[in-house]
Amino acid sequence: DAKTTQPTSMDCAEGRAANLPCNHSTISGNEYVYWYRQIHSQGPQYIIHGLKNNETNEMASLIITEDRKSSTLILPHATLRDTAVYYCIVRWAGSYQLTFGKGTKLSVIP
């Protein structure tokens, strides 16, 4: 699976959009981009995933650049409950495992 690079930490004001970047410059054509988050020591929570098109669900939007070398997770209206570590993971379609890096610690500030 391709490697990802994320900022170590970010702050976001409550009510504003949180934009979390992820670089995956070595991604190949059959690798998906997944986002999970972990609130404190709870189990990781699935957020969204995509291959090449932008994706949106009730939690977030995923924007993938045309060359697929980077992506951005957007939380449209961040709340204090969105404070968590966010993991960007590139996963080959036939891979059974998720390889977690260190992620981005997002702090939502009142």
Partner 1 sequence: DSGVTQTPKHLITATGQRVTLRCSPRSGDLSVYWYQQSLDQGLQFLIQYYNGEERAKGNILERFSAQQFPDLHSELNLSSLELGDSALYFCASSVSPDTEAFFGQGTRLTVV
Q: How far is the CB of 63 from partner 1 (least distance, A)?
A: 19
Interaction of residue 100 with partner 1, rule CB under 8 A: yes
Contacts of 20 (CB under 8 A, 6+ apart): 6, 7, 10, 35, 72, 73, 74, 75, 86, 88, 104, 106
Sketch the per residue contact string, 48 through 87, with partner 1: x for CB under 8 A, - otherwise: -x-------------------------------------x
Which residue among 55, 98, 105, 107 contacts partner 1 (CB under 8 A)? 98
Closer residue to partner 1 (CB): 12 or 103: 103
Give just the sign of the alpha carbon dihedral 97, 52, 54, 2. Answer: positive
